[in-house]
Amino acid sequence: MANKNGWALKLIFPEKKQFIMAEMGTLFITSVILILIVLVMFWRTTLSLIREKKISEHTTDFLNNMTHEFKTPLTNIALAGKMIIKDSTSKQEDKIKHYSGIILEENAKLKLQVEQVLSMTALERGEIPLRKSELDFHELINDSLKYISIQIENKQGNLKLNLDADKFIVMGDKTHLTNAMCNLIDNAIKYSKGKPELSIQTSAVAENLIVIVSDKGIGIEKEYQKKIFDKYFRVPTGDVHDVKGFGLGLAYIKKIIELHGGTIELQSEKGKGTTFTITLPNV
């Protein structure tokens, strides 16, 4: 092509974009993939840090609760022991029996707390095999109430028992299922202000046994309901330590129910009470 000053050369690349993409495409795609990998790794690292922080907080709470739970009965045992030594020269047998009763009661509390911690750890590791047999769940509920009824009587509470299920035989481990029911009823009592109002009902739906344990206690706020079955989690009560426990009870119950092929659900409203619904397969 000619112009006033001479000649000019004009080159036309009909597939310029395709050529550039062919040269840079691999590098561009690789860069995008690397950026996505970095973002995913950053996201997973952040989640891991948040999870570790929660575990650390729960562990700290657990250690604080454990220290308090163990310190109280140990102090009572030591005090009762000192009183026995102090009154050992007297013939006041009633006092000696009273102090001895305190020692035995507090020792039993310590034993239960230790067993609960060890049982939860062993169950998670699969070290405790479940010894399953056919169980009359109505009988199991009545057996559980034998251990708990004293607490209800002491607080002048009321228990409504409606065992209406026509099918109530399950395949399960009697010891662990009894412990689970005792824990559930004990929680209902602990989280009730004044005189406990409890209700236990059973019904049969399809091939399942439904067990409903309700109370009219303090209830659980919605923000904590999803965490209530987490190990070591306890609903915050500020600096007041008026409810005993390690935060293992509901985690243990859920684990036991799931190992029996069942489910447990929670319904609660702050200030109005809590309802737990257990579903277990019938034999």
Domain ranges of the chain: 15-128, 132-281
Q: Chain centroid to CA 104: how far?
A: 29
Angle at Cα 190 formed by Cα 184 and Cα 196, nearest 5°?
95
Nearest to 247 by CA among 235, 228, 232: 232
pLDDT confidence tier of residue 230, bands split at 50, 70 and 90: confident
CATH of domain 15-128: 1.10.287.130
pLDDT tens by residue, 38-79: 999 999 998 888 888 777 766 666 665 666 566 666 777 777
- Would you say the pTM of this structure is higher than 0.85? no
pLDDT at 147 over 60: yes
Cα–Cα distance, 204 to 222 (Å, whole number) = 29
pLDDT confidence tier of residue 239, bands split at 50, 70 and 90: very low
CATH second-level architecture of 132-281?
2-Layer Sandwich (3.30)
pLDDT tens by residue, 78-111: 777 777 766 655 566 777 777 777 777 667 667 6
Stated as kind and residue range, the H or E segment containing 160 is: strand 158-163
Cα–Cα distance, 237 to 164 (Å, whole number) = 37
User: Rounded to 5 degrees, what are φ and ψ at 152?
Assistant: -65, -45
